[in-house]
Amino acid sequence: MDKLKILALILVIVGGLNWGLVGLFSFDLVAAIFGEMSFLSRVVYTLVGLSAVFLAINYLAKPKEE
């Protein structure tokens, strides 16, 4: 499970960096690599979104330490 969390974290970081590039420079790195809304770019966007949901659920479901 730790490998899945690491992969999800990497994908969320890549997505965050991509959004930073879009916001600062109007440059979409994923689209530049895989083509604008091509099948592969949509797969990357989907995996980034699913990774964010996975990490959020993992974080919220974690027992609180007091």
Amino acid at 54: F
Q: pLDDT category, 64, cuts 50, 70, 90?
A: confident
* 8's tokens: 């999800």
Structural contact between residues 45 and 30, judged by C-beta atoms closer than 8 angstroms: yes
Q: How far is C-alpha 2 from the geometric centre of its chain's CA atoms?
A: 17
pLDDT of residue 48: 96
- Alpha-carbon distance of 53 to 66, in angstroms, equals 25
Q: Model confidence over 8-59: pLDDT tens digits? A: 999 999 999 999 999 999 999 999 999 999 999 999 999 999 999 999 999 8
Phi/psi region, residue 61 (left: phi>0; alpha: psi -120 to 50; beta: rest), is: alpha
- Alpha-carbon distance of 6 to 9, in angstroms, equals 5
pLDDT of residue 66: 59
pLDDT of residue 33: 95
